Every structure is written in structure tokens, then in C-alpha cells.
Structure 1
Amino acid sequence: MTDAAPPPDAGGDAAPAQESFMDRLWPMLRMLCFYYAITSGMNLFMPQKQQQRPRDSVSDPQVAATTSNAKTRPLQLLENNFHLGDLFNLRVYVNSQEQFTFAPDEDTAAVEKEQEQLRWYQDALTYDATPNPEREDGVWIQEMNVSVDEHLLSNGSVYAHVFLTKEGYSPNPTDSSYDNINSIYRTLELTVFRPPPKIVKKRNLLESQVEEEEEQKEVEAVEDGQVDGEGAYISMWKPAFYVNVVLDHSQYSVRQPPPPFVSTEMDVDQEAGLYKPVLFMNEFWMLEEQLIPVNDTLTALPLQISFYTLPMYKYALYTQMEQNFKNQEATGTSSKRDTDNMKSMFIETNPYLLAVTMVVSLLHSLFDFLAFKNDVSFWKNQKSLVGLSLRTIVLNTFFQLVIFLYLMDNDTSWLILVQSGIALLIDIWKIKKAVVFSRDADNKLVVSGVESYEDSPTAEHDRVAVAHLSYVLYPLIIGQAAYTLTYGVHKGWYSWVVSSLTSFVYAFGFIMMTPQLYINYKLKSVAHLPWRAMVYKSLNTFIDDLFAFVIKMPWMHRLSCFRDDLIFFIYLYQRWKYPVDVKRTNEFGQGPIEEDEGAAANAIEGAPKAGNVESEVVASEDVAAAVNETEDIPPPPSTPPSTEYMMSKRGKEPALDDDADIDISRLSAVDRDAIMARVTPDDSTPPDAFALAQNEIRREMIDRGIQPKGFYNDDAARLQEEFNREHAAEKDSRVQQKVQFAAKSYLRETVHRRRLEREKEVREEVEEIAKNPQLEVWLGLAKADETPKHADLRVNSIGARALCKTLAFTHSLRSLNLSRNALDDATGKWLALLLKRNTSLRRLELESNCLGPLAVKDLSEALSSNESLEYLNLESNPLTDDEKDFSGVAALGNMLTKNKTLRTLNLWRTRLGSEGGKQLALYIARNSSLVCLDVGNNRIATADAVSLDVQLKKNRVLFEEQQLQQLKYREAQWRAADKERERQDNLAKRQEDEEWMEKRKLEREQDRTFLEEERKRLLKVEEDRLRQVAARKAAEFAAKAEMEKKKKKKKAGGKKKKK
């Protein structure tokens, strides 16, 4: 794990030969896998904060810092000042200054102190993947000791100052060889403040009187502030850290700014177009347990500094994971200890075992969920306890409680605690299902098993098994507790009790299944057991064997994982010894139909998607629970009341809370009448104040805060008014309580009846789907939203109900033909549901069915808000019930005044009659969208037919005008789009020309600058040449003059000799 774990220590063999491609690729892949595993694990068990919007180069100041002067240099590129292979030096200073300052050269003492603070100097480092060629991993490591002085002991801070400079440059700003772009500086605080580590003190409870006295003194010292107690912080020392320079060869610009995690750490020189590489002070692998407390017992503190280069992808992974951990700690979804546990798991665990564990953990969670689900489902639907051990259930619950308390006392991982807690709650719920709590004639609480258990041979076998088991069970508990009390050490008496019970449970826990094994042996059967839940639990026992070596947990809990394997193998043997025929009903009344109840409700998965009570299909498990909870409710009233108030927005009934009041004013009049009929009148009368004596009246008035006047009649009259007011308030309260009681009882009955109706609907639909393969195929296509555009189906009313529930949420269907299917009025509300929810259906044909006035009213109500349907065919349907009920026609006409999308309505041979025609003619006058209405073969009056024809002609003219306006509007939009596109093209072309002109202008300017510089250079060269020529001539002239002078002098000397 050279990539996930910290770099290894110093010392190693020489660098090997050149690495292969797979040797370079494998560490990258492992690092990516570790990052994915960490983020997946944290997201699976801990909610994440909402991801922020990526920052752009305009709004983000950090990115904007790298793009200043963008208007003058829009295409300027920023390059890394450090190139591959460049040499640089590393300096690390350690002192108590938060910001490092170099000493002036003239201060000799300060310079010497500065040299003492220089703890590491490394020169000739190369900017590449292996800065240290002597080691395989390319890491430089320096180990040192930092002395503990008074500054550290008084909670002072110590800092590491890291300077990285190019070869030939100095980090000292006052030095002549200093250059800011070639020097990088970072600071790291080596001391942090943490709460003192929690010390768990254990002692022998029988021989610890002296220790208790000392502990009491320590508690008093903490209270007096003499030592650090809970809530205090102590100084902690970081024994190691890593210095990484990031290998980054990217070029950045305004259009391609650096990533946010890079721009925050990047120093940029805009004028030179250069940036410094990121110097990363890496503390990612520093765990809290590695920190060293600073105290006066230490004289020196160890410090290890490692330096190596870091690729950009690794730097991104480190920063992103560190930010992820900080966000989770800030939101309270994780703690520092959880983060350290995860890091230590990646450091200490073999990568292959870790990868297998990550995959297996997902399977463990899945099997846990399936085991809990099947266990609850088995016990919820279990009508008899024949063959099941009640005492095993109670023992198992007790043992599970002990295990849960033990895990909490040992500060176990929360993943183990959650699983144990859920199992404990399920076991407690099982006891409620298997045990009956009642009171006898003396009003004493009596606990007994359910009738099916008490009257079965299972109870006798259970008693025999537990009786024999108690001979072993009780001595083991007492002996184990006495042994641990005498020879063991504990935190306290509570810890001793919990650990003793847990030790017994873990060591002899398989004994708790002995009664069930004995019952299986006596009954020669295992058909009564919840085998699905047991299989999932057994699979998790093998997964727990793997987890026992990875996740932090007590040792006894690890050993118990292997104990569960033994239990599973015993049950497998009994399963093989006593086989079960799953195709027949067994001796306990359990058959294949009971096991497949859940499949019936899930066969039409699309139906529960509906959003109100008419479309909600409750799963069979919910229906079974509702039936079990309401077995004693009397039958519902004959008049079906409205329960819309009791339905939530998604169509499910909310729980009826006994403490919450129901607002009956929101119920329908039928519901209110039914509720008030159940309320008995209150004929009570207020007390008679005149029947009381003077002293009693006085006392009653004083108790109520009223000052008596001393006159009997006045005081009695005043008290009587108070009695009347109090009685009226009490009477109103009693009436309100009766109303609330009656309302809750009434609504429970209504909800119960609705659930039974839904259960019946589900069963009917499942049976119909099994009979009609075409319907099953279409339901599957509808659930996947992949139906063809046109559908022509043959279904009955039940099949149409299932179909409408599912098609209500599709978007691919355009035309639906349900003609000649004998659909009745009950199907109308499901067709209305389809029209209310579906937004893609354009054509609906319902020809030659049995749709009457009720169905037409449902369809009309849905079409009043529908904005997609254009064609509706109701031909050959008894819309008026042989001209007896015209309410459907009235609703249809009222719909036409509201609907704006329906264009064609076929009412041919629908028995409208003259009355129906008159109503249609009255309503059609207020419609402006319908262009085709077929009312033939309906015996409509001629005047009404003429009125309909005149209005339809107006609508057609209006429709054609609207079509023409829409066509003109679309053409105008097209022309506007073409103009806008042309304008954008011209703008882009103009911008390209301007950029080209600017580029040419810049090139010409550069050429002129170059020519001007070249001319100046040539002039300077010429001036230098002329200056040299003049100097040479002057030298020659001086030499000639000197020679002439010498000649004259020589000639003068000769003349003197001649004389």
C-alpha cells in the first residue's frame, strides 16, 4: 500500500531498473479504488451536504486572482516556473514563530540562532517523480528530536517553516539572490490542542478500597482545577508530517482556469505569466492516536519529516477526501474517531482483503435487510405458534439485550450497534405477538402464551426442554459471574453485571436454541420455522467471520461469530433429516398460497404509483396488518361515507393518533351525520347553590377566588352563575370527547373497509392478469414507459382498472382503444383517473360499452382539467340510462364550457333524447374549441340540432383562424430564429475578425518593437566601433608623438656629444 499508506521509513535498497507500464499503473488504480471505497462507504452510512455549484472564472475571487488583466491579455497562458528536471533546495526551520523572519547579516547572535533552527537542509533535489534516486519510492526522510522547553510546557505553539527554492536562489528576501517566483514558503503548526485521552480505570471490585480512595482524590483535584478534567484541552505533538511538491505541467488561462483545490494554494506572477507549484503540507495519514501529549516528563519530542513529489491526481484525491471528512465532521454525521478508524483500516489491512470486505459489506447490509424483512413478515402473518418455542423467543430477547448493553459499554463501532439494536427491537415485537398480557379476578397481571401455543404439544415440549436446560443454565451463570468478580477487573458493578452476562451469552449462547432443537426433534418437522430469515442470517454469519478481523469489536463478539456457524450447521442437519414438501399444505396449516401472498400484491407494480385514494393499491403486507389490527371492529355502516379527509396527498391513510383531535368540519355532511348519530346526549344539570349552607357557599366562593358579600341570596346567586358556567364548560368538554371518540371509531371503521376493498381489488387484478397474457405484457410496457403510440386492447372491467392505474403515469401512449369491452360505470372513475394524470394521451375510444350516467360524470370531471385529449368516442353507450337520468349529459355539457383542447366528440346512438339534445345545445353555445360533434341516431329535436350545427360552424371558423395565427406565429418565430442565428453568426465572425486584427496588430507591434530594438542595437554597435576606432587612432597618434619626442631627444643628445 505504498500509495494509500504513508511513505515507508528511511533505509532501503537502491533503485531498481526502469519500471514497467503495469508497475506505474497499478499504484494509480489502487489509489482510485481506495478513494472510491472511502467515499462510497461514507455516503452509504452518512448523509452528505449538497454539492456546491462549480465556480466560474468571473464570480470566484480565487480563480479571478489567476485571471487578472484579462482584458489586456485575454489569451495569456500561465506556465509552471518549475520544469521537469529542475534542481531545487529544501530548508526546514522549527521555532515558535508563526511567521518566519530571517536574521540580518550584521546580527551574529541572531544568525547563529537561525542556523540552530534550521533542522533540515537538502540540496540538489530534482523536480521529477523520484527526487531521491537512492530509494525505490524516491522519498527523502529526516528524523530529529525537538527539545521540550518552558514555551512548550506552557501550552505554547511550535511551527515548522518549509522553504523550497530553485538552485542558485535564496529564500531570504534581503539577499541579492532572492527571487519571489523561484521561492515557495509554507508553515505548519506542530502542536494542536485536544481533550485529554479518556482513561478507563478498571479494578477488582472485592479488593479496591484503597484505589477507590485515590480515585476520589483525583476527582476532587479535577473539580479544584489542579489537573485537566473533562472539557479541558492539552497540548499534543505531531510526531511526523510529509512535505509534497505537486508535479503539475499544465498551462492555465482565463478559459481554462486551475481547479479550485489548486487555485487556493497557487502563487501566480501575472506579469511573467508563471505560477509556482503547490507545496502541500500533507497530514492526511496523521491519526489522533499518534499524537503525543506534551508534559514535563518528556525532555525531547520526536519529529520525522518526509519529502517526496506528488502527482496531481494524488493531490486531488488527498484534498477531496480530506474536505469530505471535514464536511461530515462539521455536520455531525461523523467524528474524528470514525475518520481515523477508516484511515487505519486502509493502512493496516491487506488491500486484497480490504477490497473483498468492501464488496462483502454491501452483501451483509442486503442480507441484514432481507433477514429482518422476512422475519417480520413471517411473524406478522403467523396465525399459530404451533412448533415454535416461546421460551426460546424470550431467552433470545434477553440475550440480545445483554449483548446490546455490552457493545454500548465497550464503545463498539456504530455499524455493529445498529444491527444489534434492530435485532433487539424485532425480538421484543415477537414477544408481543407470542405473549398475552391480562389481569385475573384479583386485578393481578397475568402473562401467558397465545391460545394456539398453550393448547399445542409444543408448549409441553418447550417446558421439558427448558426444565432440563435450567440445570445447566443457572450454574453456568452463577459460576461465570463469581469467577469474574473474584479474579477479573471491571470499571464498576454495572460493567461487571453486563460483562458477566455477556460472557455467558457468548460462551454458551448456542444453548438458547436447545429448546427449539428439542421441539424440532419431538415433532420430527422443521416446517414451522422462518427458513427465509434463517438463511439470510446464516449467510451473514459467514460474512461476520470476515468482519471479525476487520471491524473494531470486542473479542468475545468475534468468537460468537464462529459460534453462530455451529448453530447453522445443526439446523441444516435437521432440515435434511426432516424434509418439507413445499407443494402441499403442511401439518401447521401453512401452504404455498400463504408464502406467495407478497407476490400477489407486487404482480401489478405499476398500480401503487397513483396519487390519490382511487388509484392507490396497498401491498398485501399492509392489508394483512390492517386486518390484524382491526379484527374486533364492528362491520361498517350500510351507507358508504366519504373519507377524503383521511387520505394524504399520496393516497395513504394517516395513522389515527389517540392524542390528536379530528376536525370534523372538514368531513362531508354524510360523515358528520353518521358521527353525531353515535354521540349520546348529555342530560346532566349543574349543582344547586341554594341547596348549600352559608359556610359551604362561602368556602366554594373563596376557592374560586370570589369575595363573598355576606348575604345568602346574593352569594348563592353569584355561586350559581359560576356553577352554571363551569357545568357548561365541562359539558362541552364531555361532548367534544364523545364526538372525538365517535369520529375516531367511525373513521377507523371506514379506513378498515377501504383497506379490505383494496385488498379485494388487488386479488381480482392479479387473477385477471394471470388469465390475460396480453394485459400482462402491456402492464410491463407501461411500467417501463415503453408502450407503442397506439393501443387496441380487449379487457373486462377488472383488467381496465389495472390498466388505467398503470397508464396514468406513462408518457409514450398517444391513442387508446377500449371499444366493445362491456365496461360498466365502475370503470368510469379509473378512466377518469387516467385522464387526470396522463398528459400524453390524445385519442380515447370507448365505443359499444356499458358506460352510464355515473361514468360520464367521472369522465366529465376529469376532462374539465385535462389539457391533452383531442378525440373522445362514446358511441353506443347508454349515457342517459334509457333517457331516465340526464345528470351525465349535464356534466358532459358543463365540461364543454371548461375544456379547451377537445376537438372531436362522438355521441352517436347514446340515447340522448330531446332533453339531452336541449342540454347539449344550451352548453355548446359557451364552447369555442369543439369542431366536430356527432349526435346522430339520438332523436334530438331539429331546432337543437340546428343550434349545435351553427355553433360548431363558428368553432370551425375560429379553429381555422387559430390554426392560421399559430402558423403565422410559428413562421414569425422561425424568421426571428433565422435572424438571430444570422446575427450570432455575424457577431461571431466580427469577433473573429477583431481577434485576427488584434492579433495582427500585436504582431506588427512586436515586429516594430523588434526592429526598433535591432536598430538601437546596431547603432550601439556602430558607436562602440567608432569609439574603438577613435581610441585606436588616438593611441596611434600618442605613440607617434612619443616616438617623435624620443627622436628629438636623441637628436639633441647627439648634438651635445659633437660639441
Structure 2
Amino acid sequence: MRYAPSFRTIAVAVFTAYVAYVAAQLRTILNPAAAIADVDLSRTPTWDPLWPPGHRFSARVWLTGVRPTRRVEPSSDKGDLLLWSSQRDQLIFDTEASFALDLNLTSKNVPNQLWSRLAQDESLYAVFCLGATGSPTHCVDTSLVKHLDLTAPRPTRYLVAEWPLLGSLVPNERPEETATPATRKNTRIGYWTPRACASLVADWTRWPKDLTTPYIVRANLPIDGNRQGHYLPVVYADQLGLTKEKLIQINTTNHALPLRLEIGPMSMARWQFNAHMEESLRLMRDLGSSTKDIDDLRHMLTETDPTLLAVTMLVSMVHLLLDVLALRSDISFWANTKSTAGLAVRPLAIDLISQVIIAAYLAEQDASLLVLGPSVAGILVQAWKVQRAFRLRRNEDADTHTSALDSSATRTLALALVPLVLGYTLHSLVREKHASFYAWAVGSLASCVYALGFVMMTPQIFINYKLKSVAKLPWEYFIYKFANTFIDDLFAFIIRMPTMHRAAVFRDDLVFFIYMYQRWIYPVDSSRREDGLGDETESNATQSSKLKLQ
């Protein structure tokens, strides 16, 4: 018989190939010198480093309103301001020496023609000019103003403050300070970057002049015009870590702006990684990604420990594989199942409503697409499961043992939860501020789902307990999801998301531990009836009669 590989085998093979490809690409990015490891440099023309380790150099930092041409140093005659100048050969080019200087820019120490550019929503540039005896001056610039398309927060208020009955219960309202712009429309706002960095790539590799040298290296090597066989150090203006919370909004009230100048070494691996990430973020922006999504990625890339980030990259790929396998297993289970005996159906519909509420809340909170996208995809799958499960239930005897247990558990759950939900939503309406009634409804319901969502799984737990069986559950799907909950725990510390959504990630762990415990104490018995309801000789009618007598 010809062997036909299963979907799981194909998925694991594709995943393994993808991980190997990513690892090879990452190795090339972090260690481009590996690409020339087999090149005989004695027989190949090369570019050699002009500055050896420990070479001394000087630096000048200018403030200018016009982005300069490469290697053209600004001048005070053109209205540019010299922010700082080192002593002759004061700085050292090696893997450790660094320099930092904190400045405070005001209208008194910055020429009016430069300071006024900030009020006119124009940019300023910091230009680092590095030079040494016997080599030309090398200049690199970085913009000190970032323009972001942002949406101002909506003002919030007590919605029932003027109501006759509930208004008396509202706390005393305080004046609310709203950020500019005061409208909800997207507005382009200028932000000051309080850090200007010139990082010298501490690398002294001899690079071949042919195509064996990686393109990103060849494109960025500053070749000495006087000595064609040599290159100056690569100077990188590092702005990858400038997330929005580190920026300062520019407006007419800014009388002083801080600026930290930094000159120091950067490893070849770090430079390559940052350059590739900046290019990826630029591509995402061109494809329409929001400023917030890009900012969340900047935060994750720069505020996470490199080891943890590497683990996260690997784990995210495993997470994707498990999600694909879980989705396929879940769809296959519900597509092939012929009976809902032993399965709680009504909580599926409740879970669908909960997922819609969560997606609406995430959209209301302007959550990242990294969080909102999977939530929307889950709604589509859950909707299909609900219609499939209820269609099967309609075709079965409505008085089965499982259906009665499902109804009993769901009814008890509703009696316990509905008063809590109504009480909390009313308390939130009266005692908390909201932007609108829609924001109140979505926020309050989402809070209830996050806090009490795990109890939606208790009807299935109750059915398992009564039947003393877990034979009908889709255990392959549960195992995949069980593994993914722990991966979500890791993501909860790395990806920025609403606090309630982060807490819900850890809540799911409890549910799966209960399921695994029930699987341990109620062994899966394949010899049980198709409906999984205990003694094979006992009819559905007899079981239903017993249930009614109870």
C-alpha cells in the first residue's frame, strides 16, 4: 500500500524547512563575514579598514535645518549651530570606548531661524562629523523630529451625571485635561527625539571587492576617496529604539528640549540586525501598517533581552505551527463527528458571543493587529463550530443524557453569572467615566468576559464529571491549545496589549489544567458506546428517565 503522509507530517516538515531557512538567513545577517569565509583574500582585491583598533579620532556635532549631503560638513556661516566639538584625537575607536553628553536646547542657545522651524512643523538634524589625522572627515546625520499620524484620545465623562435617579450617585466630576489635538481625527504631529546617536561599527574585516561581500555591507562601506583600497568605519545613526513614549510632543509651550549625544561602538551583528529591522519596519509602513503597530514592534525589538527575543522568535514559529495543527484538528473533529453526546454545545454559542465582545473591545482600545488579527480569525472558526454543533443537536433526540446535563449546567451558570454581570455593568455606568454608551457597553462586557470567561468551560467539566468520561472530547486539539497557552504566557510579557487581555492569557492555564486532570482520572476508553454515556446496554430513554427522577 502506498504511504500517504498525514497533514501533521507535512506541516512539521514545512515548519522544519522554514526554521532552517530562517536560521540560515539570520546567520547571514548577524555574521556577514561567514559569506567570505572560503574566499582566498590573498588573490582577491579587497577593501581594508583604514582605522585600526585603538585608532584615535575627533568629532564635531552640528545642529542644522537642512539635511546635508554625505561628507559635507555644516558651517556656522550658513546658520548652523555647533553643539559640541571634541579635543583633537580625544575619542578612541575600539569595542568598548564610548562618549555621551547631555544638552538642554532652548531659544536662548539655539538661533531663531533654527528654533522657529520647530513651531513651523519642520525638522532639525544632528550631524556627526568624524575625522582623524590622515583620513577624510566622515559625516552622518539623524533627524531630531519624527512626524507621526496620531489620533487624539476621546474625552470621557460620567454618562448618567444628569439623570434624575442615577445622577446623585455619580462622584464629583473633575475637569478633564485633553491632549491636543482635541478632535478624534488623525493629525500629523511632530515629536522631538531626545537622543542622537552615532554608532561606529567595530569591525575590521577585509572585504572582497566582488559580489561575495553581502550587499548591505557593500552598499554602506564608506570608501576613502583618496585611498581606494580602504574604507572608513561604518557610522550608523541608531533610532530603532525610539518608541513613542520616549518622544516629546512639539508645541508652542516647548521652551527647552533635552538632547543626549552619544558616540560609541556597535558590533557588526547588532548593526546588521538593526539595519534589517529598520528596512522591515519601513516596508510595513509602506504596506499600510499603523504607527501603533510599528511602535509596538520597535518596543519588542529594543526593550527585550536579546536572548529572550531569540527564544521568542523561535517560540513564535512553534506557536504558528501549533495554531495550524490545532485549527486543522478542531475543524476535522467537528466535520467528522456524528453526535454531540458527551459534548457541551450551548457554551460554544456563549463563547462565540464572548469572542465577538473581546474583538470589539480590542478594536475600541486600538490594540495591535498582532493581537486583534487572531481574535477575528477565531470568531470565524467559532461561528462555523456553533452552526455545526447545533445542526447535529437538532438531528438527535432532544432528551438525551448529555443534552439534559448541558442544559442544567448552563442554566445554573447563567443564574450565577447574570446578576454579577448586570451589577458590574451598572456600577461601571454610574461610578466610572466613559467616552460613549458603546464604549461603556463593550468595556463592561469585556471586563466580565475576561474575569469570568473561564467558567464558560465549566459545563463541559461538569458533563465530564457526571459521565466519568472524557472519551468524546477532541484531545488532539486540546493538547495543541494546551501547549499554546504557555507560549501565550511568554507573549504576554513581550507584546504590549490591554491589561485585561494579558490577565486572561494566564486565566486559560487553569482551565486546561482541570481538563488534563480529568483526563488523568477518567481514562479514555475506546470501547465505550458511540454516544459515550456509560453502560452500553443502557438506552437513552432509560438514562433520561433516571435523570428526571433525580
What range describes the TM-score normalised by the shorter chain of this pair? 0.7 to 0.9
Distance 1:188 1:470, change over 3 A: closer
Q: Describe the superposition over 1:813-833 as per-residue Cα deviations: whole angstroms up to 9, x where unpaired.
A: xxxxxxxxxxxxxxxxxxxxx
Q: 2:51 aligned with 1:82, yes or no?
A: yes
> Could you say which residue in structure 2 is the equivalent of 1:535?
479
| Deviation sequence 1:95-124 (CA, Å, 0-9, x none) | 4354455457xxxxx9xx87x634343432
CA–CA distance in structure 1, aligned partners of residues 262 and 287 of structure 2: 33
For residue 253 of structure 1, report the CA deviation from its aligned partner: 6.9
Q: Is the 8 A contact 1:480 1:500 kept in 2?
A: yes
Pair 1:258–1:164, CA change in 2 (3 A) = farther
Preserved contact between residue 143 and residue 302 of structure 1 (Cα < 8 Å) = yes
Instruction: Tell me the secondary structure at the aligned position of residue 263 of structure 2.
Output: strand
C-alpha distance 589-38 of structure 1, shift in aligned 2 (>3 A): same
Within 2, Cα distance between the matches of 1:192 and 1:536?
Answer: 43
1:586 equivalent in structure 2: 529
- Consecutive unaligned residues of structure 2, counting only runs of 5 or more, are 1-18, 27-34, 36-42, 108-114, 164-171, 534-550
Alignment partner of 1:492 is 2:436: yes
Q: 1:103 to 1:484 in 2, by over 3 A?
A: closer
Deviations 1:782-826 (A, max 9, x none): xxxxxxxxxxxxxxxxxxxxxxxxxxxxxxxxxxxxxxxxxxxxx
**Other-structure match for 1:383:** 338
User: Which of 230, 235, 243 is 1:279 aligned to?
Assistant: 235
Task: Name 2:542's counterpart in structure 1.
Answer: none
Equivalent residue for 1:203, pick from 143, 148, 157: 157
Contact preservation (8 Å) 1:188, 1:281: yes
SS at 1:124 equivalent: coil
- Contact kept in structure 1, 2:57 and 2:90, CA below 8 Å: yes
Q: Distance in 1 between matches of 2:44 and 2:460?
A: 80
Check conservation: 1:384, 1:453, Cα contact below 8 A. Answer: no
Report the secondary structure of 1:93's partner residue: strand
Other structure's SS at 1:269 match: coil
Note if 1:119 corresponds to 2:84: yes
Q: Distance in 1 between matches of 2:530 and 2:473?
A: 13
Q: Distance in 2 between matches of 1:455 and 1:402?
A: 32
Q: 1:387, CA displacement in angstroms?
A: 2.4
Q: Which position in structure 1 is the counterpart of 2:104?
A: 145
Q: Which has the higher strand share?
A: 2
Query: CA offsets, 1:466-518, max 9 Å, x none?
Result: 33333212211211111111122222211211121122222222332333333
Q: Judge conservation of contact 1:386–1:453 (CA < 8 Å) in 2.
A: no
Give TM-score scaled by structure 2 length: 0.75
Cα displacement (A) at 1:247: 4.1
1:129–1:310 contact (8 Å) kept in structure 2: no
- Matched with 1:331 is 287
Residue 185 (structure 1) aligned with residue 139 (structure 2): yes
Q: Structure 1 residues 293 and 38, CA, compared in 2 at 3 Å: closer, same or farther?
A: farther
| Mapped contact 1:94–1:119 kept (Cα < 8 A) | no
Distance (Å, rounded) in 2 between the aligned partners of 1:254 and 1:39: 22
Q: Any idea what the Cα deviations from partners look like across 1:729-776, whole Å, max 9, x if unmatched?
A: xxxxxxxxxxxxxxxxxxxxxxxxxxxxxxxxxxxxxxxxxxxxxxxx
Aligned twin of 1:395: 350
Q: Is the 8 A contact 2:409 2:462 kept in 1?
A: yes
- Give the deviation of 1:450 after TM superposition: 1.2
User: 1:863: which partner in 2?
Assistant: none
Q: CA deviation at 1:302?
A: 0.5
Q: Give SS of 1:454's match.
A: coil
Larger radius of gyration, structure 1 or 2? 1
Q: Give 1:236's aligned residue.
A: 191
- Residue 365 (structure 1) aligns with: 320
In structure 2, relative to structure 1, the CA distance for the partners of 1:271 and 1:156 (3 Å cut) is same
Distance 1:516 1:228 in 2: 48
Q: Structure 1 residue 307: deviation in Å?
A: 0.4
* TM-score, L = length of structure 1: 0.41
Against the structure 1 CA distance between its residues 264 and 567, is the aligned structure 2 distance closer, same or farther, given a 3 Å change threshold? closer
Query: Which residue identity is paired with 1:119?
Result: W
Q: Secondary structure at the match of 2:100?
A: strand
Deviation, 1:455, is 4.1
Task: Give the superposition deviation at 1:183.
Answer: 1.9
Give 1:301 deviation, angstroms.
0.6
Q: Deviations over 1:540-571 (max 9, x none)?
A: 22332333222222222222233323322333
Distance 2:212 2:521 in 1: 72
CA–CA separation in structure 1 for the residues paired with 2:44 and 2:370? 54
**Cα distance, 1:423 vs structure 2:** 2.7
1:267·1:275 contact (CA, 8 Å) conserved in 2? yes
Secondary structure of the structure 1 residue equivalent to 2:90: strand
- CA deviations 1:411-454 (Å, max 9, x no partner) are 23333333323332222112222335xxxxxxxxxxx9413151
Q: Which of 488, 497, 502 is equivalent to 1:553?
A: 497
Q: Distance in 1 between matches of 2:261 and 2:390?
A: 66
Task: Tell me the equivalent position of 1:163.
Answer: 129
| 2:260 aligned counterpart, secondary structure | strand
Residues 252/384 of structure 1: CA separation in 2 closer, same or farther (3 Å cut): closer
Aligned residues: 477
CA distance in 1, matches of 2:394, 2:376: 26
Q: Deviations over 1:315-368 (max 9, x none)?
A: 333323322332333234x55543432332243334444444333333332332
- State the structure with bigger RCO (CA 8 A, min sep 6), 1 or 2: 2
Give the secondary structure class of the aligned counterpart of 1:375.
Answer: helix
Q: Give me the whole-angstrom Cα distance separating, in 2, the residues matched to 1:259 and 1:95.
A: 33
Could you tell me which amino acid in structure 1 is paired with residue 348 of structure 2?
I
Q: Is the 8 A contact 1:120 1:142 kept in 2?
A: no
Alpha-carbon separation, structure 2, partners of 1:183 and 1:264: 19
* 1:545-624 alignment, distance < 5 Å: 545-582=489-526, 584-588=527-531
For 2:518 and 2:227, locate their aligned partners in 1 and report how far apart those are by CA, in whole Å.
84
* Distance across 1 between alignment mates of 2:507 and 2:83: 59
Instruction: Give me the whole-angstrom Cα distance separating, in 2, the residues matched to 1:391 and 1:246.
Output: 61
Cα distance, 1:559–1:258 mapped onto 2, change above 3 Å: closer
Matches within 5 A, 1:868-1017: none
* CA distance 1:579–1:284, shift in 2 (3 Å): closer
Deviations 1:134-169 (A, max 9, x none): xxx4210011011143332122432223222224xx
| Distance in structure 1 (CA, Å) of the matches to 2:518 and 2:281 | 49
Q: Between 457-466 and 485-494, report the one with greater CA deviation.
A: 457-466
Report the secondary structure of 1:123's partner residue. coil
Instruction: Tell me whether 1:434 sits opposite 2:389 in the alignment.
Output: yes
Taking a change above 3 Å as real, the CA distance of residues 240 and 512 of structure 1, as seen in their structure-2 partners, is same
- Shift in CA distance, 231/428, structure 1 to aligned 2, threshold 3 Å: closer
SS at match of 1:195: strand
CA distance in 2, matches of 1:101, 1:548: 47
Distance 1:251 1:358 in 2: 32
Could you say what secondary structure the match of 2:88 adopts?
strand
Structure 1 outlier segments of 4+, above 6 Å: 36-40, 74-77
Alpha-carbon offset, residue 76 of structure 1: 7.4
In the alignment, the residues of structure 2 paired with residue 559 and residue 534 of structure 1 have an alpha-carbon distance, to the nearest angstrom, of 21
Task: Find the aligned partners of 2:101 and 2:127 in 1 and give their Cα distance.
Answer: 15
- 1:182 and 1:361, CA in 2 relative to 1: closer, same or farther beyond 3 A? closer
Tell me how far apart the structure 1 counterparts of residues 505 and 212 of structure 2 sit (CA, whole Å). Answer: 54
Match of 1:1012 in 2: none
3-state SS in 2 of match to 1:188: strand
**How far apart in 1 are the matches of 2:518 and 2:76?**
85
CA 1:476–1:166: 2 relative to 1, 3 Å: same
C-alpha distance in 2 between matches for 1:395 and 1:488? 27
| Distance in 1, Cα, partners of 2:136 & 2:315 | 50
**2:248 aligned partner, one-letter code:** I
- Partners of 1:352 and 1:248 in 2: how far apart? 22
Bigger drift between 350-359 and 457-466 goes to 350-359
1:262 positional shift? 4.3
Aligned to 1:343: 298
CA drift of 1:276 comes to 3.5
